[in-house]
Structure 1
Amino acid sequence: MASAYLDFIRIRFLTMLAYRVNYYSGIAIYAINIGAYYFLWKAIYGTQTELGGFTLAQMTTYVAVSWMARAFYFNNLDREIANEIRDGSVAIQFIRPYSYLFVKLMQGLGEGLFRLLLFMVPGMIIVCLLFPVHLPTDPGVWVLYLVMLVLSFLINTQLNMLAGLFAFFVENNEGMLRMKRVLVDLFSGVIIPISFFPGWLEATMKWLPFQAITYLPSSVFTGRTAGEEAFRVLGLQVVWFLALIIPIAWVWRQARYRLFVQGG
């Protein structure tokens, strides 16, 4: 059974490889986004040396690594799950001898590995050549960040699964999927670091899983969070990963007793 799950990773990786030109163009798009944010933040800082706890050098690195990390953990599993529920093809998954959600996780991992190797890594190299990105010199920071990056993928995938599974209970959850994507990009810290939010909103974000996707790993990578604090935020990611298993299992269990199929 384990080898079958590995096949799902391989098949999704090869499928993405067939359309790799799309991702090569994506590198250019992400580089343009990073460049736009770099010049924007440079103008905002002006003569100031620090804003929101970030120096300009840290902010430049934060923007670059946050967008490139998004290239790795981003996937469309929410829309895939919702579409399979709406067209009824999910019904067959209930009788197959494997976990539907775990299959989706493996497919997302296959896509993530493709994005990591052919999107994130080459994209980061190009961005480092174009902009003053300061990479950490401590190997321990790199190892810790890679572990946190995997957890970012897992947490984002869990949120996607939850959003997709709600198609069992509504006739059309397209609006929910769009809202979820906006919330993740905004509240995870990709668009603006959470430390720039108003005090009440920043405090609220500490009780939500979004910061564990981008803000916390990128803060560790830039050196803004170091030492014991870095391991504390790693533990926070683990807590959110484990906590999100509960609502996913509950929604999937409820879905087994209610399947409303639209279409033929």
Structure 2
Amino acid sequence: MLSAYLEVIRMRFLMMLAYRVNYYSGILIYALNIGSYYFVYKAIYGEQAMIGGLTLGQMTTYVAVSWMGRAFYFNNLDREIASEIRDGSVAIQFIRPYNYVVVKMMQGLGEGIFRLFLFTTPGMVLIWLLLPVQLPTNPSLWGIYLIMLFFSFLINTQLNIITGLFAFFLENNEGLMRMKRVAVDLFSGLIIPISFFPGWSKSVLEWLPFQAITYLPSAVFTGKITGAEVFQKLGIQAMWFFILIIPMYFLWSKSRTRLFVQGG
């Protein structure tokens, strides 16, 4: 069965490779986006040395690594699942000798590997050449960041699968998918670092899984989080990964016993 899942990863990677030209333009779009954020934050900082626990140099790095990290963990599995549910093709998955949810995770991983090597890495190099990004020189920090980035992918993919599976019960979950995407981008710290939020909202966000997607790995990468606290934050990511397995498989098990018919 492992070989079958590895084949799913390979096939997804090759499928993405066929459309790689689209991602070259994506690198430029992300670069423009990051550049815009840089000049906005540069104006906001002005003469201030630090805001929200981040210097301007750290903020520049935070923005760059957050958006390029998003290029790795982003996927549209929620829309794929919802589409398969609406057109009925998901029924075929019930009789196949593999776990549908795991297959979707593997498809997302294949896409993520493609994005890592052909989007995130060249994009980060381009940003490093254009903007004053401060890359860490400690190899162990790079290793920890990559582990945390992988957890970012897992947690984001779990949220996508959960959102997609709601199509079994809502039939049209377009609004839910849009709400989820906005929530992830905003509350994960992608648009605004969580340290910039008011105190009460930061306390609320600490109880949600979103910070584990962007803020925690990016804060570690920039040096805002250091020492033993790094492993504590890594533990938070691992905790959310295991917690989200419960609703994901609960929804899938309930979905397998639900029948609804559309059309005449």
TM-score (norm 1): 0.99
Q: How much identity, in percent, do the aligned residues show? A: 72
Deviates more, 1:247-256 or 1:158-167: 247-256
Cα displacement string for residues 22-46 of structure 1 (whole angstroms, at most 9, x for unaligned residues): 0000000000000000000000000
Q: 1:263 to 1:145 in 2, by over 3 A?
A: farther
C-alpha distance in 1 between matches for 2:75 and 2:263: 25
The 4+ residue runs of structure 1 with deviation greater than 6 A are none
- Give the structure 1 partner of residue 180 of structure 2: 180
- Give the structure 1 partner of residue 58 of structure 2: 58
- Give the structure 2 partner of residue 36 of structure 1: 36
Q: 1:18 to 1:210 in 2, by over 3 A?
A: same
- Give the structure 2 partner of residue 262 of structure 1: 262
- Give the structure 2 partner of residue 205 of structure 1: 205
Aligned residues: 264
CA displacement at 1:69 relative to structure 2: 0.1
Q: 1:85 to 1:263 in 2, by over 3 A?
A: farther
CA displacement at 1:263 relative to structure 2: 4.9
Alignment of 1:12-31 (within 5 A): 12-31=12-31
Residue pair 1:78, 1:177 contacting (<8 A) in 2 also:
yes
Q: SS where residue 162 of structure 1 aligns?
A: helix
Cα displacement string for residues 98-142 of structure 1 (whole angstroms, at most 9, x for unaligned residues): 000100011000000000000000000000000000000111100
- Give the structure 2 partner of residue 233 of structure 1: 233
Alignment of 1:44-83 (within 5 A): 44-83=44-83
Residue pair 1:87, 1:263 contacting (<8 A) in 2 also:
no
CA displacement at 1:261 relative to structure 2: 4.2
Letter aligned with residue 17 of structure 1? L
C-alpha distance in 1 between matches for 2:12 and 2:199: 42
CA displacement at 1:171 relative to structure 2: 2.3
Unaligned stretches of 5+ residues in structure 2: none
Alignment of 1:49-198 (within 5 A): 49-198=49-198
CA displacement at 1:200 relative to structure 2: 1.2
- Give the structure 2 partner of residue 218 of structure 1: 218
C-alpha distance in 2 between matches for 1:40 and 1:259: 51
TM-score (norm 2): 0.99
Cα displacement string for residues 131-178 of structure 1 (whole angstroms, at most 9, x for unaligned residues): 000000111100000000000000000000000000000121001101
CA displacement at 1:259 relative to structure 2: 2.8
Q: 1:172 to 1:48 in 2, by over 3 A?
A: same
Residue pair 1:60, 1:132 contacting (<8 A) in 2 also:
yes
Q: SS where residue 262 of structure 2 aligns?
A: coil
C-alpha distance in 2 between matches for 1:47 and 1:261: 62
Q: SS where residue 169 of structure 1 aligns?
A: helix
CA RMSD of aligned residues (A): 0.9
Letter aligned with residue 202 of structure 1? K
